[in-house]
């Protein structure tokens, strides 16, 4: 099964991003938040989001979103099995978005080295400590030059550009 | 070097008095190493000084070539391609400054045109497009020299460029900016400003990088920046922000390779099948926004390349085709 995995913290826009490029409304496993995530959003994904796109020859590419809360990270290994690439979404308005990027890059290190990754920076950008250049600089310090773009998760154009970059990375 | 390649200038319909002033200016500039040579053959000159108040001047203007720079002197202001207008009466100091600026711009253009290169960015050697005569080149040099300039363009709001803080201030819309950028530099009125002159200007402040990127793609026409070599290995320090800046689909391929390892531009064409002119446009844009890394001492270090099967490449290509791009994004560069 060919699938692209979307990951990132709670409220980064994973479900929205999948919905913006897929053909169907994502099938979700959202429940009401009961922990600290409640301050960020009312509902959150606990198992996965799922949708798909159909290629010209009828083949389906499956789009999976991981749960944002770390206590559900046992799902990550299950979901990445057979994946062709990773999309990390980071909410720039989060108090420590650079550290969050580090966290997800480290957590998916093995999957990334076997496949490839792109990073989408979402939300308003009111956080002065996290400009796009800050993310680029951090990647440079990690000796990793991955695509990192500012995106609006609601925009199919933006999410498509992210996937195009992932496809380009996977081909070299 | 400079005296070997003077800028040829001829006078059309200019009075004896004005000619005396012009010769004086030319002599003064010769002391500064800025060499103009006065010739009689108008068709051979790079710069025509034309008195537009007299019939013979107007006649010579009509006969002039598009590529020639024209300095029109007269009682009225004129504007047009490759044209500079100076009102009468003029004085030596201001005329000297105009000639000095002209020399700087024209000398670089002519050097570039004279340069024997196996190819000039995929364009024919006869191409009249000169990168140094573009708004892109002005913006880049303003950034590199940390200057402050004002770009005035008839019918459009001024653009104030702060090379020190890497920002622009203008009320111009993106569409206006696009028009301004595409015009040759000679059609603009460019003024150098002191930093303090910028503080009271009205308009939206935006990052210079966005305009630099946009102008590089619009103005490069496949011509590599002066002083840059296609044989030198280069690498990307970071991916360009494609979601917020103009791009062409080929740029993803170029960025993916250059983010992975240093490659000479001359090798990229074979490696990617992307036309060389497009490679240069991308490189100029990435360089201008400080995304290019050079000076690789250890090119022997092997980069682990993934072996991608033909089947997988085909799949990845199909996914990219399926998702496509918004037309608006592509037109940002193609317009």
Of the two residues A125 and B229, the one the predictor is more confident about is: B229
- Most A CBs within 10 A among B236, B250, B256, hence the mutation to make, goes to B256
Of the two residues A37 and B232, the one the predictor is more confident about is: B232
Listed residue (B244, B169, B173) closest to B205, CA to CA = B169
User: Which pLDDT value is given to residue B4?
Assistant: 57
User: Which pLDDT value is given to residue B127?
Assistant: 44
**Sequence-distant (≥ 6) Cβ neighbours of residue B5 within 8 angstroms:** B107, B110, B111, B114
Per-residue pLDDT band for B176 (boundaries 50, 70, 90) equals very high
State whether residue A54 is helix, strand or coil.
strand
Q: What is the CATH number of the domain that holds A156?
A: 3.40.50.300
Q: What would the pLDDT profile of B21-58 be if each residue is shown by its tens digit?
A: 999 999 999 888 888 988 876 766 789 999 999 988 88
Backbone angles phi, psi at A87, to 5 degrees: -115, 120
User: Which pLDDT value is given to residue B186?
Assistant: 83
Chain B residues in contact with A150 (beta carbon < 8 A): 241, 243-244
Residue B291 and residue B77: Cα distance in Å, rounded? 42
Per-residue pLDDT band for B306 (boundaries 50, 70, 90) equals low
Domain span at residue A81 reads 3-170
Please name the member of A145, A146, A157 whose beta carbon is closest to the beta carbon of B326.
Answer: A157
How is domain B7-114 classified at the architecture level of CATH? 3-Layer(aba) Sandwich (3.40)
Vertex A102: Cα angle to A96 and A108 (nearest 5): 135
Of the two residues B289 and A24, the one the predictor is more confident about is: B289
Whether A33 contacts A17, CB under 8 Å: no
For residue B89, cis peptide bond before it (omega within 30 degrees of 0): yes
Please name the member of A55, A139, A149 whose beta carbon is closest to the beta carbon of B322.
Answer: A55
Backbone angles phi, psi at B36, to 5 degrees: -110, 140
Q: Do A171 and B322 touch (CB under 8 A)?
A: no
Q: What would the pLDDT profile of B123-136 be if each residue is shown by its tens digit?
A: 333 345 678 889 99
Segments making up each domain of chain B, as ranges: 7-114, 131-219, 233-334
> Mean of the per-residue pLDDT values for chain B?
83
CA–CA min distance B80, chain A (Å): 39
Kindly provide the ipTM of the predicted complex, given to two decimals: 0.86
- Max avg pLDDT among A32-36, B47-51, B217-221, B285-289: B285-289
B/e letters for B96-108, b = 16+ CB within 10 Å, e = fewer, are beebeebbebbbb
> Minimum mean pLDDT among B252-256, B289-293, B305-309: which range?
B305-309
Chain A residues in contact with B256 (beta carbon < 8 A): 165, 168-169, 171-172
Residue A16 and residue A153: Cα distance in Å, rounded? 6
CA–CA min distance A34, chain B (Å): 35
User: Which pLDDT value is given to residue A129?
Assistant: 65
Per-residue pLDDT band for B195 (boundaries 50, 70, 90) equals low
Of the two residues B168 and B245, the one the predictor is more confident about is: B168
Domain count, chain A: 1
Backbone angles phi, psi at A125, to 5 degrees: 85, 30
Question: CB under 8 Å, gap of 24 or more: what pairs does B1-7 form?
Answer: B2/B33, B2/B34, B2/B35, B2/B107, B3/B33, B3/B35, B5/B107, B5/B110, B5/B111, B5/B114, B6/B35, B6/B36, B6/B37, B7/B35, B7/B36, B7/B37, B7/B46, B7/B47, B7/B102, B7/B103, B7/B106, B7/B107, B7/B110
Q: What would the pLDDT profile of B86-114 be if each residue is shown by its tens digit?
A: 998 888 899 999 999 998 888 877 776 66
Mean pLDDT by 10 residues, chain A (172 residues): 91 92 76 56 67 86 84 80 94 91 95 95 73 93 95 93 93 86
Q: Do B321 and A167 touch (CB under 8 A)?
A: no
Per-residue pLDDT band for B68 (boundaries 50, 70, 90) equals confident
> Minimum mean pLDDT among B18-22, B141-145, B282-286, B320-324: which range?
B320-324
> Residue B63 above 80 pLDDT?
no
User: Which pLDDT value is given to residue A126?
Assistant: 65
């Amino acid at each position: 099964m060919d699938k692209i995995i979307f990951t990132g913290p709670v409220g980064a826009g994973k479900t929205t991003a999948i919905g913006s490029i897929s053909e169907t409304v994502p099938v979700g496993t959202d429940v009401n938040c009961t922990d600290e995530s409640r301050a960020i959003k009312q509902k959150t994904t606990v198992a996965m989001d799922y949708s798909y796109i159909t290629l010209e020859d009828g083949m389906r590419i499956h789009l999976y979103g991981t749960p944002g809360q770390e206590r559900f990270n046992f799902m990550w290994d299950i979901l990445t099995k057979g994946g062709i690439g990773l999309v990390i979404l980071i909410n720039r308005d989060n108090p420590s978005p650079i550290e969050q990027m580090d966290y997800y890059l480290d957590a998916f290190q093995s999957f990334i080295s076997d496949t490839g990754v792109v990073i989408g920076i979402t939300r308003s950008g009111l956080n002065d400590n996290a400009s796009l250049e800050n993310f680029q600089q951090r990647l440079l310090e990690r000796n990793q030059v991955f695509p990192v773009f500012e995106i609006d998760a609601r925009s199919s154009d933006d999410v498509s550009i992210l996937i195009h970059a992932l496809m380009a990375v996977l081909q070299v | 070097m400079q005296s070997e390649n003077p800028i040829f200038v001829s006078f059309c319909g200019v009075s004896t008095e004005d000619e005396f002033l012009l010769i004086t200016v030319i002599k003064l500039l010769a002391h500064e190493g800025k060499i103009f040579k006065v010739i009689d053959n108008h068709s051979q000159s790079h710069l025509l000084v034309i008195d537009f108040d007299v019939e013979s001047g107007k006649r010579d203007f009509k006969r002039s070539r598009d590529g020639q720079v024209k300095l029109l002197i007269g009682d009225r202001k004129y504007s047009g391609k490759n044209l500079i207008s100076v009102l009468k009466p003029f004085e030596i100091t201001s005329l000297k400054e105009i000639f000095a600026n002209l020399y700087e711009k024209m000398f670089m253009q002519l050097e570039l045109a004279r340069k024997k290169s196996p190819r000039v960015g995929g364009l024919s050697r006869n191409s009249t497009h000169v990168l140094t005569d573009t708004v892109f080149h002005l913006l880049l040099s303003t950034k590199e020299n940390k200057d402050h300039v004002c770009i005035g363009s008839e019918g459009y709001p001024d653009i104030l460029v702060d090379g020190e803080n890497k920002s622009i201030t203008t009320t111009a819309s993106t569409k206006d900016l696009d028009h301004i950028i595409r015009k040759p530099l000679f059609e603009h009125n460019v003024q150098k400003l002191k930093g303090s002159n910028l503080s009271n200007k009205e308009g939206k402040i935006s990052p210079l990088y966005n305009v630099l990127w946009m102008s590089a793609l619009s103005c490069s026409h496949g011509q590599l920046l002066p002083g840059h070599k296609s044989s030198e290995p280069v690498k990307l320090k970071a991916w360009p922000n494609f979601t917020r800046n103009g791009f062409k689909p080929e740029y993803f391929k170029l960025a993916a390779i250059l983010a992975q390892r240093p490659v000479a531009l001359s090798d990229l064409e074979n490696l990617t099948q992307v036309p060389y002119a497009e490679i240069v446009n991308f490189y100029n844009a990435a360089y201008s926004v400080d995304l290019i890394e050079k000076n690789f001492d250890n090119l022997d270090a092997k980069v682990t390349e993934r072996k991608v099967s033909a089947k997988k490449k085909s799949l990845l290509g199909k996914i990219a085709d399926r998702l496509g791009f918004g037309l608006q994004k592509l037109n940002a560069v193609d317009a």
